[in-house]
Amino acid sequence: MQTFRKNVQNLEQLEAWIHRYSFCSCSVVRAIAKSLVKRTDEIISCILSSYSNGKMEETNNKIKRIKRRGYGYRNIQRFAFRVRLETANIL
């Protein structure tokens, strides 16, 4: 129940921030507020959801590091094998 209250409080703070800065004299801040208004549904679902894409981000980062470290493999099969080998415990 406490998490729900915290999420509602976060949503209220977001709405207050958008309302306060929608008509700001600084064009950059107005652009940020406009973007938040456009993406309100996504932001709300992110705040309310307990799911995270952390595992996927970790896997993508690991693959990028393998590519950089390898500096080119002889063929794609060796690269794919290396990716499977190093990401086996993540996936």
The more confident residue out of 1 and 90 is 90
Same-domain status, 58 and 81: yes
- Tell me, yes or no, if the pTM score tops 0.75: no
- Are 19 and 36 within one domain? yes
Q: Looking at the 3D structure of the chain, how many domains does it have?
A: 2
The pLDDT assigned to 67 comes to: 81
State the residue range of the domain holding 33. 2-48
What is the rounded average pLDDT of the residues 12-40?
Answer: 85
Phi, psi angle pair for 39, to nearest 5°: -105, 25
Q: Answer yes or no: are the C-beta atoms of 11 and 47 closer than 8 Å.
A: yes
Q: Is the domain of 25 the same as that of 44?
A: yes
Helix-, strand-, coil-residue percentages of the chain, each rounded to 5? 75, 0, 25
Looking at the fold, whether 33 and 67 belong to one and the same domain comes out as no
What distance in Å separates the CA atoms of residue 72 and residue 87, rounded to the nearest whole number?
19
For residue 83, give both structure tokens. 């990716």
34-50: per-residue pLDDT in tens? 888 888 888 777 777 77
Domain match, 36 and 8 both: yes
Mean pLDDT of all residues belonging to the chain: 80
User: Do residues 7 and 34 both lie within one domain?
Assistant: yes
**Which residues are CB-neighbours of 17 under 8 A, at least 6 positions away?**
33, 36
